[in-house]
Amino acid sequence: MKLAILGADATTLALTMAAIERADLTIACHCELDQTRDPQAAELLLRAVPSAQRLACWEDLLDSQLVDGILVARATDEERRSDQLRKFAQSGMPVLLAHPVVDSMLLYYEIDMIRRDTQAIVVPALVDRFHPAIGRLAEIVEAGDRSPVGKIEFVAIERQLADRSREIVRTQFARDVDLLRFLCGELNQIGAMGTSGEESAYGNLSVQITGPRGLFARWAVSPVEDSSSGSGKLVMTGSTGKATLVMPGDGHGWSLSTSGRPSAEKFSDWNAAATALSKFTQARGGDSTAPELLDAARAVELTETIGRSLARRRTIDLHFEDHSEENTFKGKMAVGGCLLLMLGLGVLLFAAIFEKAQIPGIWLWPWLLAGVFGVFLLLQLLSLAFKR
């Protein structure tokens, strides 16, 4: 399987290094490595794959004879990356996305709609949920009162970051909130707290989230203390005890401590990038166990809501819907119907005034209004005339 790299960041660098270790994968070419926020990652990528062809034009990646899949890095120019992803989905080119690849939830939903029509393979690199330790925590949640810590009531993640800028914090939250969704179910209420100021609010950000299942979750960022940047701790509080998962920043040596057990459970080293590549290749083979693009969309939507919650200083309710071209069409028709009704009322008012003024030709207004409504009603049949 021949892979291409579009852009460069830490995720694509890790994916590339994992691909080199596999005999069935080859990095055939790369493009736009000079358009990145992480020049160091780009330099390391070039060193790792010196024989890979450099493409001057990204449209060459649409050639299925050249590559079988693309590793897409986080965007520097979101408009450009959005256009690229639309073209890949429309052409059916398989892509493995760094997460979050862009900050707009609308693009994720748009790509998901295109993907459903073209059956394209679009896989986000959201694989921490497949870590054996997370699987163990999921078993504890499902066990309810029978678990070693009782029924889970509260889940918290604290992440230590050396760089607590807005972009870095939001990127980390977009990844961690997928773990919270995996453990707690869908989350649709979010409240964020931080110090005043757009940028400084993220330096000590605390986010409270809950959903229909009633599990309360919290995510917080803190400065690095005695461990590497990116280290995290996931704590699940149950009715009779706690389960604490320590997640080192280098991704190795995760350990789970549970109330009532004398020692922590150690987990062997686990390679997230290798798992992401495996899920990607399995998806190309028809396996549906890969993380869904809709999961990435939900995570980005929750991340976007942090800014609104901080600005309004209150909890925001989210109403997730199944986005599709059919539902979008119905929504537009509903809005159009409301506008036509308002237009009809306005026409009746002005027609009465113009009739009193005896303006010539005013008697035609009922036919014109009926014609407009007739055309609008015929538009409702468009969904039956086209498959898309």
Strand segments, DSSP code E, in 77-231 are 95-97, 122-124, 152-160, 189-193, 206-210, 216-222
The phi and psi torsions of 254 (rounded to 5 degrees) equal: -65, 145
Q: In this structure, which amino acid lies at residue 121? A: I
Position 274 scores a pLDDT of: 94
- Per-residue pLDDT band for 385 (boundaries 50, 70, 90) equals low
**Tokens 């690229």 — which residue?**
84
| CA 75 – CA 145 distance, rounded (Å) | 45
| Confidence (pTM) | 0.80
Tokens of 143: 């066990």
* Residues 28, 4 contacting (CB under 8 angstroms): yes
pLDDT at 174 over 90: yes
Q: Taking 80 as the threshold, does the pLDDT of residue 1 lie above it? A: yes
Q: What is the pLDDT of residue 338?
A: 82
Number of C-beta neighbours around residue 344 at 10 A: 13
146 vs 383: CA distance, rounded Å? 50
| Contact criterion met (CB below 8 Å) for 154 and 237 | yes
Distance CA 388, CA 270 (A): 42
| Phi, psi values for residue 244, rounded to 5° | -120, 120
301-352 pLDDT per residue, tens: 999 999 999 988 889 988 755 555 666 666 677 777 788 777 777 777 777 7
Confidence of residue 199 (pLDDT cuts 50, 70, 90): low
Which pLDDT band, with edges at 50, 70 and 90, does 208 fall under? very high
Q: Where do we find the tokens 């000590």?
A: 204
Q: Whole-angstrom Cα distance, residue 377 to residue 337?
A: 9
> Token pair for residue 358?
């005896």
Instruction: Provide CB contacts within 8 A for 375, sequence distance 6+.
Output: none
DSSP 199: T
How do residues 84-137 score in pLDDT, each as one tens digit? 999 999 999 999 999 999 998 889 999 998 998 899 999 999 989 999 999 999
Mark residue 78 as left, alpha or beta (left: phi above 0; alpha: psi -120 to 50; beta: remaining). alpha
CA–CA dist 248, 227 (Å, integer): 8
Residues across the chain: 388
Give me the pLDDT at residue 117, please.
87
- CA distances 96 to 12, 214, 351, 374, 379, Å, are 9, 33, 59, 47, 38
Measured CA to CA, the distance from residue 242 to residue 152 in angstroms comes to 9
Which amino acid, one-letter code, is at 2? K
pLDDT value at 353 more than 90: no
The mean pLDDT value of the chain amounts to 87
The whole-angstrom separation of Cα 268 and Cα 133 is 10
Residue with tokens 């390679």: 271
Burial 187-205 (b: 16+ CB within 10 A, else e): bbbbbbebeeeeeebbbeb
| Residue for token pair 């590339």 | 16
Full DSSP string of 227-268: S-TT-EEEEEEESS-EEEEEE-TTS---EEEETT-SSPEE--
Amino acid (1-letter code) at residue 304: E
For residue range 239-282, what is the model confidence (pLDDT) as tens digits?
999 999 999 877 788 999 998 787 889 998 899 999 999 999 99
pLDDT in tens, 139-167: 999 999 999 999 999 999 999 998 999 99
Q: What's the average model confidence in pLDDT over 206-224? A: 91
Tell me the average pLDDT across 51-58.
Answer: 93
